[in-house]
Amino acid sequence: MLLNYLHSGSGKPLIILHGLFGMLDNWKSVGKELEKKYAVYLVDQRNHGRSPQVPEHSYKAMAADLAEFFEQQHLSSAYLLGHSMGGKTAMQFALDHSSKVDKLIVVDMGIRRYGAGHDAIFETLNAIDLKEIHYRSDAEKILLENINDFGTRQFILKNLVRQQDGSYTWRFNLEALDKNYESEILAPVDGDHPYTGPTLFIRGQNSGYILNEDWDGIQQLFPNSKLMTVKNAGHWVHADQPAEIVRLTNDFLAT
């Protein structure tokens, strides 16, 4: 699979993976800072952004996509950073291809199966008839009726794009994501052997994705790991505290 990506900077390669409903654009501002020291690859995962849309959406499949990406870019190894869904992809890849990951950074995501937390988003998106959307504000009004959080609405609307004929479409593959949400996207990561390379888990102070009681399980798969908590940040840590994400990443990769 040919994943869409943006490459900038020079030095040791650093690959960054976005989360569910996201795209590489979400990490551009952080990438611009990190490219000062690294060859940064911002990647659209399958069924997101400008990457191919396919029926299958699992962490094993996305880890295999990433293995292909390494071959296509002639990368023998790299630093790997993933947020949320991208964090699980990064963890799965590290477990499946440990020799290719020099250091691993996981932003606000654990290894366990999570309970459904996007049902309202899926219901709302499925209720939007794109044939009836003539302006972005039309979609925004529908989102406003069902999704209270302004940041979440704007995050979703970034994926709404106008086509040449004037109609609108989603960047993400809504059908595939909805179909695989319960069985695959919420699924845990697992491997036959732990990843023993240096690993940094970063969580938002106001997020519940990495709980204190999750840590023992995380360390079974990632025994050489440490946890940092970013104050005044929720699940989208890189949006709430971008400078802190850059600082923690630089400090961790430099040591």
Which of 56, 68, 123, 175 is the catalytic position? 175
State the Cα–Cα distance between residues 45 and 155, nearest whole angstrom: 16
C-beta of residue 104 within 8 angstroms of C-beta of residue 83: no
Which of 18, 57, 235, 238 is the catalytic position? 235
Q: Any catalytic annotation for residue 8?
A: no
State the Cα–Cα distance between residues 178 and 35, nearest whole angstrom: 34
Give the alpha-carbon dihedral of 45, 175, 189, 20, to 10 degrees: 50
Q: Any catalytic annotation for residue 225?
A: no
Which of 84, 184, 225, 238 is the catalytic position? 84
CB-count burial class (<10 Å; 0-12, 13-18, 19+) for 150: exposed
Q: Any catalytic annotation for residue 83?
A: no
Give the alpha-carbon dihedral of 93, 57, 38, 33, to 10 degrees: -140
Q: Which residues are catalytic?
A: 84, 175, 235
